[in-house]
Structures are given as C-alpha cells and as structure tokens.
C-alpha cells in the first residue's frame, strides 16, 4: 500500500469521525495535515516489508527446479522435481537484526521450505514427492510448506553468538559447507536425487530404496542422509564463536538428548584458497519422530549413536582448479534391533571426492566443470539389519556443468550420476533377506542412472 492510498484511507476515517462528532471535528488545529503525514510515515515504517523502527526485516531464499531423467535398468521416466529438503531446495526466509549498542546485537530467523515435489521422496511409482521436512515433522502428512527454522539470537562482536529455538545443530552440513566450487547444490554426498527410488536385483524390486544404503541408522529416531546425519534442525541452544584469523567453532545441545561440536577454517595463501571443517554429533534422544524405532531402542537398552564428519576444499584461484573431499563415520551403539539386546548395526563410513575447474567461459558469469566419486560402506538401515543384511557397499560417480548468471543471481546446470551397489546377506536367527527380495551371499543391485537439467534463482 503506497503513501497516498494509505493517506486516503486515513482521511476517510477522519471524515467518518467528523460526521459522528461534528462539534469535535471543528476543533482540529491547523497542523492536522502535518500530523497526519507523520502518522502515515510511522505506519509505513512498521509494515512487514522492511521491519519496524528498531528491527530490520529481510526476505530471502531461492527457487530451484530441475528436469530429472532416470533409468533403473528396467524402467525409465522423466520427472520435474525440486533439489531436496533442508536448505538445499526451494525455500524462503524472514530474518532481522537490531543493533543494541556498538558491541551487541539481537536478531531472528524464520525459514520455510516450499516444495511440492521434493527430490528426496519421488520414486518409480510416485512422481509427486511431498516435502520430506513436513513428512518428518508431522509423522507422515503430505504437504508443501514445512517449518525448517525459527530462532532468535544475541550476538557480541567479542564474545560470539547464542541462539535459541529450532535450528541447525553445530554439526549440520559442516563437512559440506567448505565446498566453494559453486556446485554444492548440484553435487554433494547426500543422496538427494535417488533417495526414494527402490533398488532392483535380478530384474525385480527389492524391499529397500537407494536411500536405505546411505542412512544414519536411527539417528534422531528417523534415519537421515548418511554423511550429514545431524542434518535435521532441532530445538536447541547453540553457541558460535567469533572468527579469529579464519578459525571458528560452534557447540549445541537440545532435544532429549542431542549435542554437537564443530570447528571451521577459511583462508587464502599465495593464491590458494583453503577451507575446512570438522564436527562430531551424538544422540541418545528416544523421543524422536521414529516411534517404532525408539520404542524398540528403549526395550533393548537405549539409543546411543554418534557421527563424525570432516570436509576440506582447496582452490588455485588463478587457474580455477579445485579439489573437495569429505569423510564421515558412524559410532553406533544403538540396540534398536529385533535381533535382540546387544545386537547393533555395523558402524558405517563414507568418503566423497570432487574435482574440477572454475572459469569465466562466458561473460554472463563463471562456469564450473566437475567430476565426482563417492562410496558408502555399511550405511544401511536398522530394518535391513533385522532382515539379515550384514554389510553393504554403495558407489556413485558423475560429471556436471554449472553456469552462473550473475545479472540474475541464477545458476543453470546439467549433470549425470551413476549408482551401483552390493548387499551381503547371511543366515540369521531372526530375519531373512528373502523378505527384502535378496538371497544369501552377495547380491549385486541393478545400476541406476540419472540426468539433471535445472535452474536456481536467488532472491
């Protein structure tokens, strides 16, 4: 609403008041118009488009959509999807800040995911992928909008920042974030684009998806994407240090109980950019959203799982050559298994490598060319363990091109990925791999290929 339309409404209100109280209206002084203009300016300063006089308001986010072409060895199809939940897909955020004095400030963040076709939840028999964030929060209700974060903070330039509310833990995405290649959304170690697709063996569906081979084994009670097991925002208190000579650290605690610590570094020496992060998170939270898993965990001794992650990035600025690598491992003592007390999944681990070239081939912005390879070992679900699986291996590799359009704050990309895996089953006292479509011994899964052609625009 602009100044003049708001003025007209206020003037109409004053006129209505004058008809109701004519005698009082005659008492208006000569400075009424100046007072009215001051009130209009005050109202405009408190509208949601920019905050109030004390706290600023910024609206930000991005919209990301892609054409996903896939082939599982027996069937192929083409979908239109988003790029995945939890900060890496379409979202919008409201943030604000107020300066208390020269040292202290306060602020807030509210972030909403807005996806009607999340790449994490599409599969062969469903081209409509509900927002995975909302599915987890609501226990299975499909929808488009999901609350990702909502917290306030106090910050000191000397002491650091404390934030309270629903937010990322100190370990969330830590090994991913050092990646400065410009291809983080399109290529990282989380299985965003294949998570919900069912695997095949001997030409038929198995009883598990590709995402089940890159799972966090009951972390936080709902699973999770291996490599970023603490990737789901939770209700917590978090502390972040100021940055000293490129170094920073964070710690968080919340829920019942989850804690995490992390450290980061970023710097440049003689034309070489270096960035790295290390993090560890632990959960004994038995009140998570995966109720069946949690009840089973309680019956067999309790949830006890940790996750370590490490990531690093190096770039030669003049040539544009870069390298990124990450490693993660689970420390799983959870006894949430129908095999009985004392039975736990193997401790899974993974590594991921990406290398390429960043050059300004076109005047519109820089171009990133990359190749990637990743492997996940024994990162399978508790359900697969109960079915008789003893170890697994999942490999993926691919190539891609990401083109930046600077004038539109936009990225365009085309990328290809290939997945293959092996699952080993042994006879167990409880559970049989026959229940998930596999035989005893090593089972080779049919290869899965996908091509992504998409775009992302920031605002």
Q: Which residue has the tokens 């109280």?
A: 21
Residue that has been written with the tokens 């019956």 in this structure: 299
Residue 19 is predicted with a pLDDT of: 37
Residue spans per domain, the chain: 1-45, 46-458
Per-residue pLDDT tens digits for 201-236: 988 999 999 999 988 755 444 456 777 777 778 899
The pLDDT, as a whole number, for residue 427 is 60
Per-position pLDDT tens, the chain of length 459: 444 443 443 344 433 444 344 443 334 444 555 565 665 566 555 555 667 778 999 999 999 999 999 999 999 999 999 998 777 899 999 999 999 999 999 999 999 999 888 898 899 998 988 777 676 665 556 667 888 999 999 999 999 999 999 999 999 989 999 999 999 999 998 888 999 999 999 889 999 999 999 887 554 444 567 777 777 788 999 999 999 999 999 999 998 788 999 999 999 999 999 999 999 998 877 655 444 444 444 444 566 788 899 999 999 999 999 999 999 998 877 655 555 545 566 788 999 999 999 999 999 999 999 999 999 999 888 778 878 888 999 999 999 999 999 999 999 999 999 999 999 987 655 557 888 888 888 999 999 999 999 999 999
User: Is the separation of the CB atoms in 83 and 456 below 8 Å?
Assistant: yes
Q: Is the bond into 257 cis (omega within 30 degrees of 0)?
A: yes
CATH number of 46-458: 2.40.160.10
Which pLDDT does position 268 carry in this prediction?
Answer: 96
Dump pLDDT digits (tens) for 79-105: 999 998 777 899 999 999 999 999 999
Q: What is the pTM of this model?
A: 0.84
Under a CB-based contact definition with an 8 Å cutoff, are residues 90 and 82 in contact?
A: yes
Q: What is the structure's pLDDT at 205?
A: 94
Spatial CA neighbour of 278 closest among 332, 352, 328:
328
**Pick from 267, 264, 274: which is nearest to 241 by CA?**
264
What's the Cα-to-Cα distance from 62 to each of 57, 65, 151, 409, rounded to whole Å?
17, 10, 20, 10
């Amino acid at each position: 609403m602009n100044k003049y339309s708001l003025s007209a409404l206020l003037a109409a209100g004053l006129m209505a008041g004058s008809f109701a109280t004519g005698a009082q209206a005659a008492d208006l002084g000569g400075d009424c118009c100046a007072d009215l203009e001051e009130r209009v300016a005050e109202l405009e300063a408190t509208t949601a488009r920019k905050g109030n006089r004390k706290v600023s308001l910024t609206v930000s986010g991005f919209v990301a959509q892609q054409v996903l072409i896939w082939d599982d060895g027996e069937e192929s199809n083409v979908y239109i999807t988003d790029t995945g939940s939890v900060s890496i897909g379409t979202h919008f955020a409201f943030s604000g800040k107020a300066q208390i004095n020269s040292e202290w400030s306060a602020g807030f963040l509210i972030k909403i995911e807005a996806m009607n076709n999340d790449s994490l939840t599409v599969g062969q028999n469903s081209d409509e992928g509900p927002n995975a964030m909302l599915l987890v929060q609501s226990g299975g209700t499909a929808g488009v909008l999901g609350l990702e974060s909502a917290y306030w903070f106090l910050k000191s330039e000397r002491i650091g920042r404390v934030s309270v509310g629903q937010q990322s833990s100190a370990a969330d995405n830590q090994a991913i974030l050092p990646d400065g290649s410009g291809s983080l959304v399109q290529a990282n170690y989380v299985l965003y684009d294949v998570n919900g697709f069912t695997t095949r063996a001997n030409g038929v569906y198995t009883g598990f998806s590709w995402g089940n081979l890159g799972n966090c084994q009951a972390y936080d009670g709902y699973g999770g994407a291996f490599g970023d097991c603490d990737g789901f925002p939770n209700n917590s208190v978090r502390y972040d240090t100021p940055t000293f000579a490129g170094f920073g650290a964070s710690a968080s605690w919340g829920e019942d109980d989850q804690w995490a610590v992390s450290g980061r570094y970023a710097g440049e020496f003689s034309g070489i950019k270096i960035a790295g992060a290390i993090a560890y998170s632990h959960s004994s939270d038995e009140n998570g959203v995966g109720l069946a898993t949690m009840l089973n965990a309680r019956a067999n001794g309790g949830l006890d799982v940790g996750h370590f992650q490490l990531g690093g990035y190096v770039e030669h600025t003049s040539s544009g050559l870069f390298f990124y690598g990450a490693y993660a491992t689970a420390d799983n003592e959870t006894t949430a298994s129908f095999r009985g007390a004392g039975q736990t999944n193997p401790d899974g681990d993974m590594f991921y490598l990406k290398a390429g070239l960043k050059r300004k081939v076109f005047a519109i912005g820089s171009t990133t060319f990359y190749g990637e390879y990743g492997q996940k070992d024994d990162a399978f679900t508790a359900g697969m363990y109960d079915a008789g699986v003893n170890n697994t291996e999942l490999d993926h590799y691919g190539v891609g091109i990401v083109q930046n359009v600077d004038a539109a704050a936009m990225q365009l990309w085309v990328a290809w990925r290939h997945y293959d895996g092996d699952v080993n089953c042994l006879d167990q006292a409880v559970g049989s791999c026959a229940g998930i479509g596999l035989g005893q011994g090593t089972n080779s899964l049919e290869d899965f290929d996908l091509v992504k052609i998409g775009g992302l625009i920031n605002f």
